[in-house]
Structure formats: structure tokens, C-alpha cells
Chain A
């Protein structure tokens, strides 16, 4: 039974299932490119799976960049109060 403290969405079985559904969706968006051609305007953006790879790796890059900059920029939250 679902109560706020034991919500069905937080059960391990649900989360496992969500990962499966997510993975299938991801695979589907790439596989669909065989059926629906993506018209590349600059050549490279028409390659198979380009959007997926570009989205994934630019995010990884941005997270890395944020992590590195964070080392330089992060301060305790009371930094300006002291």
C-alpha cells in the first residue's frame, strides 16, 4: 500500500523498472534514426546517433568544467557573513 513514507515510486523494484524503461527509451531514440533520417545541415549533425553522443558528451564536459571551477570558486556558505 502506498503511504507517504513508503511510496511506490521509491521502492527498489520500481526504480529498477524505471532504469529499464529509461534505457529502452534511450535505445529507441537512437534506433529510430534508421526510420526517420535526421537531415544534417553541417554534415556531422546528420551522422547516426550524433544528437545522443553530442548531448551526452557535452554534458559530461560541462559537469567536468563545473567540478574544476568549483575547486576554485566554492566557499563555505557563510563566506560573506563572517
Chain B
């Protein structure tokens, strides 16, 4: 029976139950079990379309299975379960409900066989991720949530325009490999890239995620951008424009993370950086590259959530969000520190971590295709990841100066979630053969070759040296960095003010002119129609009779002549 059911239903049911149940213990049981049931259902879905439907005469493929779809759904379900373990004790009920709907949207996208079904789940994600942002509960979260919602609804509209266009042009809504060649396909690509936080609108991610609650940002880090990667894999493998877009994202993330002071915003920028690697891989589009993108997404969700958990515990325990306010926390938070460091090593693709066994596949794909510039830029970016996330995050949060803060370590449930993900980072680093069979194509790749390991150790350790030598330059300042969103956060309001000021003389001149025009028209009407005007004043009966006689005479004359 399960091979026909959309796995997302398990999470939707879980979300509804969480909404209804008032006992906290029962609720915790639901939020943790629902993703596990969902995980079971995911693995019952065979390849191919298994559930069809129709909407307004359009044929829908509600559930379609394939290895890459199951892979993404699997990590989303694992993420939802582990996130629930992390969150259930502290998160508000609204956040737990929203997070489950959000995960349901992501898993729904994984199995959507047509673009209309994909779109519905896509919007479900947009809707409930906004609620997760709002659960941050602060004024900043409210404002960032509104900007986030506008961006995603706009992205949804762009995507929908593309889908309609494709339907009109080709008569099919089937999800299949496309290339961005005409208006509709470009709209679809742009709609997906907005969710991937591609330029020029990357700012929505770093704007919204750090304002969510400590547990909310863990959920947010996982779903939206990686669903976009899956959509790119399914719809635009080998689209050359993605290589350039991805490389831009990679370096954008590094530079902005280097400038950033907010702990979780550093991690948010590094999501853009990591997703950039995956976008490049989809752009390369070979079997090795797609395997790399999928494997990297899988590993990335784990270590990025781990980093956000570690940062979340710090934010929760200290109430501080800025690097300049914390430091030296390793003394009293050893577990959070060790888990954070493992996440940091994994994101830097250190040998023996999941980052090394997955991200290097992307470099290998660039090498196989002799994309020299791409290969060297990715290598430089790998060094940059170690710089901005691998060392910077743990150094400024857990070491650096002694801030004098002596917070308690993570609560037991958060510890379980972190240790589980930290363990997975190392497990997949040592036994990549656990992950490789799940990838979309047969894997012909040996991650551990002596020469390559040595090359990466040189690359990473010397970027570490650069960090400590340039430490005076890396010290954080109490600043934010402008992004393209300045255009609508400051530029548009300023433009409105300026145009109002400039047009004031013009408008008042126009108003005066209109006033005098209306006034003179009024006067002339009053003069003719008023009680003294020729048409308005009263006439004597004799004069009136004379006029009538005159008019009748003229009528008779005209009638005779015609």
C-alpha cells in the first residue's frame, strides 16, 4: 500500500497532530516519529510514476520515484527527525507544526513527477518556512520574515509563469531535462535559482535565517536551497550558465562571511557558498558531477545543520548573537565545541569527514572535463571555506578571547542531535561506500588517494596558517555589510522620498492650474446658468411667447423648404 502513497502525507499528518495535541510529551513523540514513518514510506516508492491524478484536465504525476529523488527525500526525512530531537523541548508549538509542513513540502517536491505538483509543494515550503522565520519572535524576525515571504512569493510567480509557458509551448508538464533556451525555460530556471539563493537575490537567506529561533535556523538551513538543487538536477543538468552562477555564489559566500560578525549569519553565507559548489556541479552535468552535487547536498545538510545546532546552543545559552560578544566558550561548552569543530572540519572537506568524500567529486568532475579555471577556482574556494567557516566559526565562538561567559553546555536532547550528526559526518568520511550506492549514477571514484589527501592537507593547513597570520585583519567589527537588498530596503524608500520632494513644486503648480481652470469653468457656468445668467434667469411670459412663435415660424419655413 505504501508504494503508492506520497511520503509527504506522513509529515502533513504529523503536523496536524502536533497542532492538535496539547501534551508536550506526546507532541515530542509525534514530531520525532512522523519523519521516521515518512522515511519508511520513502523507501517503499519504486522507480517510475506510481500515482497519477488530474487537475482541470491537466494530467498530474503525484508520486514518481528515482534514486536521486529518494536520496534527497531520505536526507530531508533524517533532517526532520534529528531537527525535531534538537527542537522539541524549546521550540514553540507553532514552530514544530510549521517545520513539519515545511519538511513535507520539501519531500513532496522530491517525488513530484510534474511541474504543477512540484509548484504546489514549492509554495507549501515558502509558506511554512516564513512561519518558521517568524517564530524567531523578535521585531527583526518579523521584518525579515516579510522580506523573505515577498522574495519567495515573487520567485513562485516567476516559476509559475515559466511552467504555464512551457505547458503552452510543449503541451507537457512532465519534469524532464531542459535547457534555458526560451522565455519559459528561463523563467523556470530563475524561479528555481531564487530558492537556491543565487545572485542577485542571495541576500534573502542571510537576512532571514539568523533571525529565526535557535532551532528554527536549523530547519531553515536544510530544505529550501537543497530542494532547489534537486530541481536543478532534475530540470537543468548540464545547463552551462549554472557554472558561472555557482562560482559567483561560492566566492560571494566566502567574502561576505569574512566580513560578518553575526555567528549564524556567517553560517548563512556559507550555505550560499556550499550551494554554489552544487550549482557548479549541476552546470557541469556529467554523471560524476551530478553524483557529486547529490552527494555533497546529502553531506552538506548534515554538517550545516550540525553547525547551526552548535551555534544555536550558543545563542540559546548566552543570549548573544555576535562574535564580538562571545569567545572562550570551550571552557564550559566542550560538547557543543567539539560538535561545532567536527561540523567545521566537514564543511572544509577535511580528510576523514563527509565533506572530503563528497565535495571532492565535484572537483574531480571539473578535472575530468578539463575545466581548468573551474577546477582551480573550486580549489581556491575550498581553502576559502576553511578560512571563513572551518576556522573562523569555531575560533571566534569557542576560543579567541575570554568573554567571561560561563554558560552551561547543551541540554540532553540537543546533545543527542548534535552527537548523532557529528557521528554521521565522520562515518560518511570514513565509509563513503555507505552513501555511494544511493547516488543517481554508478560511482567510479576513489576518494582516498595518498597524493590527493596530501594535496588537500597542504591546501587546508596553509589556509589555516593564513588565518592566524592575518588574524588582526580578521577581528570582527560591529558592522553589517550592504547587499543587493539595499535596493529595496533603502533604495526604493529613498527613491520614493526624493521623487515626492522633487515632484512637490510640480504637483502644487498643477494643482493651482487645475484649481484656476475649475474655478473659471465654474464662474462661466454660474454666469450663464445662475439666477442672473441668460439661461438661468426668469423671463416674462410675453417674451417667452414671442420666442416660441419665432421658433415655430422658423420650423414651418424649414419644413416647407425641405
Question: CB within 8 Å of B: which residues of A?
Answer: 4-5, 7, 9-10, 22, 25-26, 29-30, 32-33, 36-39, 41-42, 45, 49-56, 58-63, 65-67, 69-70, 72-77, 79-80
- Selected from A36, A55, A67, A69, the residue in CB contact (under 8 A) with B450 is A36
Query: At the interface, yes or no: B513 with Cβ under 8 Å from chain A?
Result: no
Q: How far apart sit A70 and B479, CA to CA, in the bound complex (Å)?
A: 10
- Residues of B near A60 (CB, < 8 A) are 466, 470
Q: Judge whether B259 and A69 touch: CB under 8 Å.
A: yes
Q: Judge whether B480 and A51 touch: CB under 8 Å.
A: no
Q: How far apart sit A38 and B376, CA to CA, in the bound complex (Å)?
A: 15
Query: At the interface, yes or no: B521 with Cβ under 8 Å from chain A?
Result: no
- Residues of A near B332 (CB, < 8 A) are 4
Question: CB within 8 Å of A: which residues of B?
Answer: 251, 254-255, 258-259, 261, 328, 330-332, 367, 372, 375-376, 379-380, 383-384, 387, 402, 406, 450-452, 454-467, 470, 473-474, 477-483, 489-490
Q: Judge whether A75 and B465 touch: CB under 8 Å.
A: no
Q: Judge whether B460 and A55 touch: CB under 8 Å.
A: yes
Q: Judge whether B462 and A26 touch: CB under 8 Å.
A: yes
Can you list 24 A-B contacts (CB < 8 A)? A4-B406, A9-B330, A10-B328, A29-B461, A38-B451, A38-B452, A41-B375, A45-B379, A49-B458, A51-B458, A52-B461, A54-B383, A55-B383, A55-B460, A56-B463, A58-B384, A60-B466, A63-B258, A63-B466, A63-B473, A65-B255, A69-B255, A80-B489, A80-B490
Q: How far apart sit A10 and B251, CA to CA, in the bound complex (Å)?
A: 33
- Residues of A near B489 (CB, < 8 A) are 80
- In the complex, the chain B residue whose C-beta lies closest to that of A53 is B462
Chain B CB within 10 Å, residue with most, of A62, A69, A72, A77? A62
Q: How far apart sit A53 and B463, CA to CA, in the bound complex (Å)?
A: 9
- Residues of A near B451 (CB, < 8 A) are 36-39
- Residues of A near B480 (CB, < 8 A) are 74-77, 79-80
Nearest CB of A to B203, in Å = 12
- In the complex, the chain B residue whose C-beta lies closest to that of A66 is B258
Q: How far apart sit A33 and B330, CA to CA, in the bound complex (Å)?
A: 35
Q: Judge whether B384 and A75 touch: CB under 8 Å.
A: no
Q: Judge whether B383 and A59 touch: CB under 8 Å.
A: yes
Q: Judge whether B259 and A45 touch: CB under 8 Å.
A: no
Q: Judge whether A56 and B466 touch: CB under 8 Å.
A: yes
Q: Judge whether B474 and A51 touch: CB under 8 Å.
A: no
Q: How far apart sit A9 and B332, CA to CA, in the bound complex (Å)?
A: 13
- Residues of B near A9 (CB, < 8 A) are 330
Q: Judge whether A74 and B481 touch: CB under 8 Å.
A: yes
Nearest CB of B to A73, in Å = 4
10 further A-B pairs in the complex, CB-CB below 8 A; given A58-B383, A74-B482:
A9-B330, A26-B465, A36-B454, A55-B461, A67-B473, A73-B259, A73-B482, A73-B483, A74-B477, A80-B480
Q: Judge whether A51 and B459 touch: CB under 8 Å.
A: yes
- Residues of A near B478 (CB, < 8 A) are 76-77
- Selected from A26, A36, A79, the residue in CB contact (under 8 A) with B461 is A26
Chain B CB within 10 Å, residue with most, of A38, A51, A61, A75? A51
- Residues of B near A41 (CB, < 8 A) are 367, 375
- Selected from A4, A7, A37, A55, the residue in CB contact (under 8 A) with B458 is A55
Quick one: given A33-B454, A52-B462, A77-B480, are A66 and B467 in contact (CB under 8 Å)? no
- In the complex, the chain B residue whose C-beta lies closest to that of A68 is B255
Q: Judge whether B455 and A59 touch: CB under 8 Å.
A: no
- Residues of A near B255 (CB, < 8 A) are 62, 65-66, 69
Q: Judge whether A55 and B473 touch: CB under 8 Å.
A: no
Q: How far apart sit A21 and B354, CA to CA, in the bound complex (Å)?
A: 26
Nearest CB of B to A16, in Å = 13
Q: Judge whether B457 and A29 touch: CB under 8 Å.
A: yes
- Residues of B near A32 (CB, < 8 A) are 454
Quick one: given A36-B450, A55-B383, A79-B480, are A10 and B466 in contact (CB under 8 Å)? no
- In the complex, the chain A residue whose C-beta lies closest to that of B481 is A73
Nearest CB of A to B234, in Å = 30
- Selected from A5, A38, A56, A76, the residue in CB contact (under 8 A) with B454 is A38
Q: How far apart sit A5 and B328, CA to CA, in the bound complex (Å)?
A: 10
Q: Judge whether B454 and A74 touch: CB under 8 Å.
A: no
Q: How far apart sit A63 and B472, CA to CA, in the bound complex (Å)?
A: 11
- Residues of A near B483 (CB, < 8 A) are 73
- In the complex, the chain B residue whose C-beta lies closest to that of A23 is B465
- In the complex, the chain A residue whose C-beta lies closest to that of B459 is A55
- Selected from B462, B463, B482, the residue in CB contact (under 8 A) with A75 is B482
Nearest CB of A to B385, in Å = 10
- Residues of A near B467 (CB, < 8 A) are 59
Q: Judge whether A51 and B259 touch: CB under 8 Å.
A: no
Q: How far apart sit A73 and B406, CA to CA, in the bound complex (Å)?
A: 34
- In the complex, the chain A residue whose C-beta lies closest to that of B458 is A51
- Residues of A near B328 (CB, < 8 A) are 10
- Residues of B near A36 (CB, < 8 A) are 450-451, 454
- Residues of A near B379 (CB, < 8 A) are 45, 54, 58
Quick one: given A63-B387, A66-B258, are A58 and B479 in contact (CB under 8 Å)? no
Q: Judge whether B473 and A42 touch: CB under 8 Å.
A: no
Q: Judge whether B466 and A42 touch: CB under 8 Å.
A: no
Chain A CB within 10 Å, residue with most, of B259, B458, B473? B458
- Residues of B near A25 (CB, < 8 A) are 461
- Residues of A near B473 (CB, < 8 A) are 63, 67
Q: Judge whether B331 and A4 touch: CB under 8 Å.
A: yes
Q: Judge whether A66 and B259 touch: CB under 8 Å.
A: yes
Nearest CB of B to A25, in Å = 6
In the A-B complex, the 7 residue pairs with the smallest Cβ-Cβ separation, listed nearest first, are A51-B458, A59-B466, A58-B380, A55-B459, A66-B258, A55-B462, A56-B462
- In the complex, the chain B residue whose C-beta lies closest to that of A44 is B376
Nearest CB of A to B276, in Å = 14
- Selected from B331, B384, B466, B479, the residue in CB contact (under 8 A) with A77 is B479
